[in-house]
Amino acid sequence: MRRLAIIAALPLAAPAASAPAPAHAPAPFTIAESGEGFAHLQDALMARRGRDFTVLIAPGVYRECAIQQAGRVTFKAAEPGTAIFEGACEGKAALVLRGKGSTIDGLVFRNIRVPDGNGAGIRIEIGDLTVRNAMFLDSQEGILGATGDATRILIDHSTFSGLGQCDETPDCAHSVYLANTGEITVTNSRFERGRGGHYVKLRSPHVRIDDNSFDDSAGRKTNYAIDLPEGGTGEILRNTFVQGPNKENWTGFIVISAEARKYSAAGLRVDGNAATLAPGQSKSPAFVANVSGERLALGANRLGPGVRAYEERRP
């Protein structure tokens, strides 16, 4: 797909016949290990297919996308927050990942929409995934994927804003929706201004969701902050939650095993969190709603007026 051209100012040629040739703008996509430059990200991936390498991405707005087919690839912004992607490959995402492993560092994904309602910044289909210092803005989905393997997924120091939908298609999209049989970690990240669905929905036997903020005060038609629909153990620690007034489902902040009891939730630790209601929210949600039938490890969570600490539900 095409991207917006990045136009560099070129020096004016002097009238002398011996004037040097104008300087050329560097290629937007550079292989860190070799210095090779490419006009398009997909060309860089194909040139090094099967190997482990880093692609440095110059500042710019890129209306293109890429599919990783092998190897371990790091997609790194030369300057964090300045490399912005707005395209989608295969009607899925800006980056469709099918290698052994992928790292995304400092990129921005925005305004991504596709006909099936799941337009994402990242679609992970094979391999491990690490996302750091990234932003996902005003799209149908931030990160989506199911590997079916015991992979490791880490999301750290990233922002998810204006994501999700339940109006465009029969099934909702979410800020983050991931599944594997290994572990999923979400830390030090911000979730805000949701536009439908859940903020974090994970299908995994082991999760770690620590030190994040979930600000739903400007959300619209949103559901849970954290949904573990098939259970799962691990920890949910030191997060801050604000539930807004414009909910599609206001009944819980954190909901366990609402769809199935596939993974044990016994001992899931929920401790050191803070949860409040935004002005205009008159409901009384449960901070933790447990459908697993198993005993969780609930610690000292700080709950504002109107937030009930715990609720057990039947399947």
Provide the pLDDT confidence category of residue 157 given band limits of 50, 70 and 90: very high
Query: If pLDDT is split at 50, 70 and 90, which confidence band does 244 have?
Result: very high
Whole-model pTM: value is 0.91
3-class SS at 47? Answer: helix
Distance, in Å, from the CA atom of 165 to the CA atom of 172, rounded to the nearest integer, reads: 5
Q: Which is more confidently placed, 18 or 268?
A: 268
> Could you please report the per-residue DSSP string of 96-120?
EEEEEEEEEESEEEES---TTS--E
Percent of the chain with pLDDT over 70: 92
The per-residue pLDDT for range 13-33, each reduced to its tens digit, is: 333 443 443 445 689 999 999
Digit-coded pLDDT (tens) for 170-214: 999 999 999 999 999 999 999 999 999 999 999 999 999 999 999
First and final CA of the chain: distance in angstroms? 46
Minimum mean pLDDT range among 11-20, 131-140, 220-229, 271-280: 11-20
Query: Could you read off the pLDDT of 30-74 as tens digits, one per residue?
Result: 999 999 999 999 999 999 998 999 999 999 999 999 999 999 999
Task: Give Cα 35 to chain centroid, integer Å.
Answer: 29
Of 91, 92, 126, 120, nearest to 107 (Cα)? 120
- Cβ neighbors of 238 (< 8 A, separation 6 or more) are 210, 211, 271, 272, 273
**8 Å CB contact between 186 and 213:** no
Could you give the CA distance from residue 119 to residue 99 in angstroms, rounded to a whole number?
20
Of 131, 134, 132, the residue nearest 84 (C-alpha): 134
Q: What is the DSSP string of 194-254?
A: --SB-SEEEE-SEEEEES-EEE-TT--SB--SEEETTB-EEEEES-EEEE-S-BS--SEEE
- Give φ, ψ of 47 to 5 degrees: -65, -30
Average pLDDT over residues 111-127: 97
Q: pLDDT confidence of 11, banded at 50, 70, 90?
A: very low
